[in-house]
Amino acid sequence: MDRRTLAAMIDHTLLRPEATAEDVLALCEEATDLGVAAVCVSPSQLPIIGGLGVGIGIATVIGFPSGAHQPAVKAHEAEVAVDAGATELDMVVNLGLVRSGAWAALVDDIDAVRLAAPAPVVLKVIIESAALDDEEVVECCRAAESAGADYVKTSTGFHPAGGASPGAVALMASVVGGRLGIKASGGIRDAATARTMVDAGATRLGCSASRAILSEV
C-alpha cells in the first residue's frame, strides 16, 4: 500500500479534552498536507474555521466517550453537530444495553442518531470491541446495520479495555460483509499496525499519529 492510499483511509483525530482552537487549526493544516480522508474533533470545536483542504471530511463524536446518554440527547447532539458543519458522526453505543442483550433498544439508540442526521451524513457506530465478547460484537454490528449506519468502529480510544485489534476488525468485517465500512481506532501508532488493521478488513483508520505513520510508508 502506498502512502497516498493509506492517507486516504485515515481520520486524522484530535479528541483530547484540553485541545484548543489553535490545536484544531494545526490539525486541519496537517490533515490538508497529508491528504487524509477526514479530521475528527470534539463537538465543541465545530465549526471548523480555516486550514482544511477541499474534500476532507469533518467528523465529530456523539455520546462520547461513554455512550451512556439518552437517545434523544445523542440525536440533539447530532443535529447541532451537522448544523455546525459536521459531515461525519462517530457515535458511541450504550454499552449497558449491549451487556444486557437489549438489542432492540440498541437499534433504537443508533436509529435516533441516524434519523437526526440522515444521509449523506456518514454515521459510524463505535462499539468498544475490546470490552465485548464475540457474540456482543456480532450483535452490535447487526444493530448498526439494521439502523442504517455506514460504518462500525472498534473503539473510542478512551476505554480502559483497550483499542482496536486485528481479531475484532476481522470479526466485524465477517458480519457486515462489504455492506458497511469498518473503522479501526485506538492504539494505531505505526505503519505496521495500520497495515495489519487494513489486512484484517479495516476500510478507515482513526489515528492521532497520522504523520508518524505515513512517514514510515
How far is residue 148's CA from residue 7's CA, in Å, rounded to a whole number?
A: 26
Using an 8 Å Cβ cutoff, are 7 and 35 in contact? yes
Task: Check if 153 is active-site.
Answer: yes
- A 10 A CB-CB count for 3 gives 15
Task: Check if 183 is active-site.
Answer: yes
> Of these residues, 74, 109, 111, 153, which one is catalytic?
153
Task: Check if 90 is active-site.
Answer: yes
> Of these residues, 11, 90, 111, 150, which one is catalytic?
90
Rounded to 5°, the CA angle 88-93-98 comes to 155
Which helix (H) or strand (E) element contains residue 67? none
Helix %, strand %, coil % for the chain, to 5?
45, 15, 40
Read off the C-alpha cell for 130: 475490546
Rg (CA), the chain: 16
Using an 8 Å Cβ cutoff, are 32 and 10 in contact? no
> Of these residues, 109, 124, 150, 183, which one is catalytic?
183
Nearest to 75 by CA among 59, 53, 94, 91: 91
Residues labelled as active-site residues: 90, 153, 183
